[in-house]
Amino acid sequence: MATLTKVAIAGAGGRMGRTLIELIQDQKNIALCGGFDHPDSPTIGSDLGLNAGVAEIGIPIEPNITAIKGEYDVLIDFSLPESTLANIAFCREARKRMVIGTTGFADHRSIIEDAGSDIAIVFAPNMSVGVNLCFKLAELAAEALGDDFDVEVIEAHHRNKIDAPSGTALKLGEIVAAKLDRDLASNAIYGREGHTGVRERKTIGFETIRAGDIVGDHTVLFAGAGERIEITHRASSRRTFAVGALRAATWIMNRKGGIYDMQDVLNLC
């Protein structure tokens, strides 16, 4: 018999939070035990299920993580960096596992890595199964093509996304740079304008689009003499990220500590 995974959701009143709550209703091995949002959110106090457009479940959206009364094993967090960092501190003290899909951490990744000494965390810029397969394909392509091909990463998201490039785009760049033995920090170019001169051989370029309600498009382009290879993933629904996050939540139940990503969850390492 499968182990029941009890989860709580950060940002429960937001789009990803509502999608996760909706999907959990169809899961036999996952139970929703609580959720919270920013204290100023108009969703505070409303029922988790009703707010997500499903049946009433009798659990209100709380104003912070400390207010959750139900017992849970895993916190799923798709919020903002400052909120996630506070949630990490709480979960580390309470010995709660985490699945983190928040992006835009800048210089705070060391805090997440340090927390892995006490709790198990799946930390991934993109929870989509398809995107994580693309990570693996990008690694294989970089290894096969080497320095004979120029590399560009193109990403597009909705108008409300506040960080750029996306965490997924940066992850693609990191994977390719590592396989090509390049330092991404010194070789990345974020957009181009004016008289840029001839392209430096080891450059890895990033182009960002913010428009409309685009859920998430990513392409890593390898361009050589007379040919090019494009590895592309397009998400048409946030459900793909939620499905991956729930898969990660059940997977991490067998881990007591450490930092993992979706490559570990999907056995693509």
Q: In the prediction, which pLDDT does 76 show? A: 98
Q: In the prediction, which pLDDT does 103 show? A: 81
Q: In the prediction, which pLDDT does 126 show? A: 86
Same domain for 113 and 10: yes
Same domain for 59 and 39: yes
Same domain for 50 and 25: yes
Task: Give percent of the chain with pLDDT exceeding 70.
Answer: 99
Among residues 234, 264, 232, which one has the least CA distance to residue 247? 264
Same domain for 225 and 167: yes
Q: Which of 157, 171, 218, 233 is catalytic?
A: 157
Indicate if 157 belongs to the active site.
yes
Please compute, for residue 235, the number of CA atoms within 13 A of its CA located in the half-sphere on the CB side: 27
Q: In the prediction, which pLDDT does 209 show? A: 97
Q: What is the CATH number of the domain that holds 214?
A: 3.30.360.10
Q: In the prediction, which pLDDT does 125 show? A: 80
138, amino acid identity:
A
Q: Which of 6, 108, 161, 202 is catalytic?
A: 161
Q: In the prediction, which pLDDT does 129 show? A: 92
Same domain for 108 and 20: yes
Q: How far apart are CA 246 and CA 139, in angstroms?
A: 25
Q: In the prediction, which pLDDT does 2 show? A: 65
Q: How far is CA 36 from each of CA 74, 89, 236, rounded to the nearest angstrom? A: 14, 16, 26
Same domain for 119 and 133: no
Same domain for 186 and 172: yes
Same domain for 222 and 113: no
The predicted-structure confidence for 164-223, as pLDDT tens digits, reads as follows 999 899 999 999 999 999 999 999 999 999 999 999 999 999 999 999 999 999 999 999
Same domain for 101 and 21: yes
Same domain for 210 and 172: yes
The overall pTM is greater than 0.75: yes
Q: How far apart are CA 99 and CA 77, in angstroms?
A: 6
Indicate if 161 belongs to the active site.
yes
Domain holding 37, by residue range, is 5-123+238-265
Same domain for 156 and 111: no
Q: What is the CATH number of the domain that holds 64?
A: 3.40.50.720
Q: How far apart are CA 121 and CA 127, in angstroms?
A: 13
- In contact, 77 and 10? CB cutoff 8 Å: yes
Same domain for 160 and 66: no
Q: In the prediction, which pLDDT does 63 show? A: 96
- Residues of the chain with pLDDT below 70 are 1-2
Q: In the prediction, which pLDDT does 70 show? A: 84
Q: In the prediction, which pLDDT does 182 show? A: 97
Count: domains in the chain: 2
